[in-house]
Amino acid sequence: MQAARCPTDELSLTNCAVVSEKDLQSGQHVTVKTTPNHKFAFTVKTHHTVVPGTIAFSLPQRKWAGLSIGQEVEVANYNFDKSKQCIGAMTIEIDFLQKKSTDSSPYDSDKMAAEFIQQFNNQAFSVTQQLVFSFCDKLFGLMVKDIEAMDASILRGEPASGKKQKIEVGLMVGNSQVVFEKAESSSLTLVGKAKTKEARQTIINPEWNFEKMGIGGLDKEFSDIFRRAFASRVFPPDIVEQMGCKHVKGILLFGPPGCGKTLMARQIGKMLNSREPKIVNGPEILNKYVGESEANIRKLFAEAEEEQKRLGANSGLHIIIFDELDAICKQRGTGASSTGVHDTVVNQLLSKIDGVEQLNNILAFCMTNRPDLIDDALMRPGRFEVKMEIGLPDEKGRVQILTIHTNKMRNFNLLAGDVDIKELAFETKNYSGAELEGLVRAAQSTAMNRHIKATSTVEVDMERAEKLQVTRDDFKGSLNNDIKPAFGTNQEDYSNYIMNGIIKWGDPVTHVMDDGELLVQQTKNSDRTPLVAVLLEGPPHSGKTALAAKIAEDSQFPFIKICSPEKMIGHSEISKCQAIKKVFDDAYKSQLSCVVVDDIERLLDYVPIGPRFSNLVLQALLVLLKKAPPKGRKLLIIGTTSRKDVLQEMEMLDAFSTTIHVPNISTGEQLVDALELLGSFTDKERASIAQQLKGKRVWIGIKKLLVFIEMSLQMDQDYRVTKFLSLLRDEGALNEGDQIRI
């Protein structure tokens, strides 16, 4: 072909060689051979003014390749090896094109790099190549100094190998790094990270340091988000186009408060080579004027729309972060307001994310604690198709989070040597990330408080303050007194039920405890039965609740809650159902949970006169007792009742996996054993009671027995035994003939 002059100034800024559409197609890559030893790579663009058989070059291109007008050159197709020739990083020397157009104003190298990648995406570049670049209405002369190939393992989604390979010719892709260096004698002022190579990150860096991000315990969630949302953005656009692949446009992060949803979205926005993300709190969108709320949604997408029209597939990534999405995107048709503002806001958001005019250069992150409130249309593929639960961190995650929050203290030697992060992580079951941060703050304030002198004025003891260290005891104190997990065990709950301990007065109690331990182990270890429900039934005062609480405590499950009628006094049927459902919903958020449903007949409002009971609560309990927890979660339910016959009639017994009978004390020997374990009477008094009860049958619950013992102990020592036996007789718990049940 014959070399020619570039037909227009506009085409000379594209860095492409210009040909006739009869010879080649736009976007093709070619090699231009000027002499037997000199060959240059170009990307071509077609234009109707170019004569067939000629190939047009701009002045910088002719200078670089040593071409003259009318020179005969040999042109051949060139195909890039995508696994070896994609540009990972490129260093470019920059200066003003014309000395008379110099100015002293600073130029943002980050914006410059983003604009460069958009303008020259999918083009061939060679070391020593010269080109002209238009930025902020100024023309700059560029010269390619150095090219590094992209690590092929990143393209395959594998961890980076860390090898850097220099290449002479490479293909610019969407996530290439561009680093600008000003020419030696240039007066150009550059600001931003892209003027230094070290500070740049690729769109996905598998070696990214999560501690630097300030997020711990979410490694799996990060890798899942990268796989779904960014894998398609790493590959060269032409491969993505050939696959017919569309980029993910929306990610919904949901889960309990304080688990790092907002933090994760914000940090992902920072670590990507995109613009600063737009962060929007849901309620900020709403406006009292008609149409303004919808206009606020349109403004969020205006910049991305304008850039997509201008640059098409080469447009950069725009990230929008919606916090508290449930505030603006409730189910349509459920709002009580006459204006229907929420409905129109949802409609506007739907049309912008995936409407008739599709935007392919946006990524929306949405956070909510209540995914059930969000309109279903937003959840379909093409909109917020990646739904990621950010749950409570496991033990490994808690180690990461505590390490992050104690890192500075450790660096400045303010953390005592007796603080064991792994021990703290083990003891903080079901703590969220925010609660772990609060725990560290509470321990710090406890340590600082030791060095404050409380005299007439509050002063810091400077001599001792210089030796300030946060110790293990500070963390222990904060753990016990200051910070309690919202979704964890409430020790005060079940310690009230077992304040007198478990009195193993005979084999029946031992059997109940052994069976309880077996069920705990089944819940932990069996993958076939993620839900185990057991009913402890027996006469009143036999200690069912205490045994249930003890089994729950010994299980060491991270989540233990007691669903008790005493907490629902005065509740309506509906609010009682909601309270019971909340206990179970909270339990589903933990890996291992135990729920004690105490005194079921009281929860059901059952009375024999009538008889009367709450069918609404009954149906709710029947559903919840049979509902399996989410995948990967395990739940143990322990119910207690004194009216097994009533539950049988209500068809509730079938909802439990098994039933364990908790009997009363039924023989004199068992009663004496109980007295001995309690140690309330002297040996002589116990011997006297044993003589009186020998061969006699009794029937008394351990709870009632404790009351009688304490009542007898208030008497003078000579009358204790007499009083105790008379109390047994008066209650009908003692009879010389047949046993009498009370």
**Any idea which residues carry the catalytic annotation?**
544-545, 598-599, 626, 703
CA 532 from centroid of its chain's CA atoms: 28
Q: Distance of CA 555 to CAs 78, 167, 197, 431, 501, Å? A: 68, 61, 54, 18, 16
Other Cβ atoms less than 10 A from the Cβ of 347: the count is: 17
Helices and strands (DSSP H and E) totals, the chain: 28, 29
- d(CA 365, CA 386) in angstroms, rounded, equals 10
Q: Which residues, at least 6 apart from 202, have a Cβ–Cβ distance to it below 8 Å?
A: 88, 150, 154, 175, 177, 273
Rounded Cα–Cα distance for residues 83 and 443 (Å): 52
Q: Residue type at 210?
A: F
For 319, the 3-state DSSP assignment is strand
Which conformational region is residue 27 in: left (phi greater than 0), alpha (psi within -120 to 50 degrees), or beta?
left
Locate all alpha helices (DSSP H) within 312-420, ordered by sequence: 341-354, 395-411
CA atoms within 13 A on the CB side of 330: 12
3-state SS, one letter per residue, for 179-196: EEEECCCCCCEEECHHHC
Three-state DSSP class for 562? Answer: strand
| Gap between the Cα atoms of 638 and 576, Å rounded | 19
Mapped onto helix, strand or coil, the DSSP state of residue 272 is coil
Euclidean distance between CA atoms 515 and 509, whole angstroms = 10
C-alpha separations of 588 from 174, 262, 434 in Å? 41, 22, 20
Find out whether 617 and 569 touch, Cβ atoms under 8 Å.
no
Handedness of CA 97, 98, 101, 103 (dihedral sign): positive
What are φ and ψ of residue 146, in 5° steps?
Answer: -155, 140
Q: How many alpha carbons lie under 13 Å from residue 266 in its C-beta half-sphere? A: 11
Distance in angstroms (rounded) separating the CA atoms of residues 86 and 93: 20
Number of neighbouring beta carbons within 10 Å of residue 306: 11
Q: Kindly write down the DSSP assignment for every residue of 109-144, as one continuous string.
A: HHHHHHHHHHHTTT-EEETT-EEEEEETTEEEEEEE
Spatial distance between the Cα atoms of 131 and 144, rounded to a whole number of angstroms: 9
Angle (CA) 659 703 643, round 5°: 35
Answer whether 548's CB lies under 8 Å from 634's CB: no
Give CA–CA dist 167/127, Å, rounded: 8
Whats the size of the chain, residue-wise?
742
Burial 361-391 (b: 16+ CB within 10 A, else e): bbbbbbbbeebeebbebbeeeebbbbebebb
The answer to whether 417 and 473 have CB atoms below 8 angstroms apart is: no
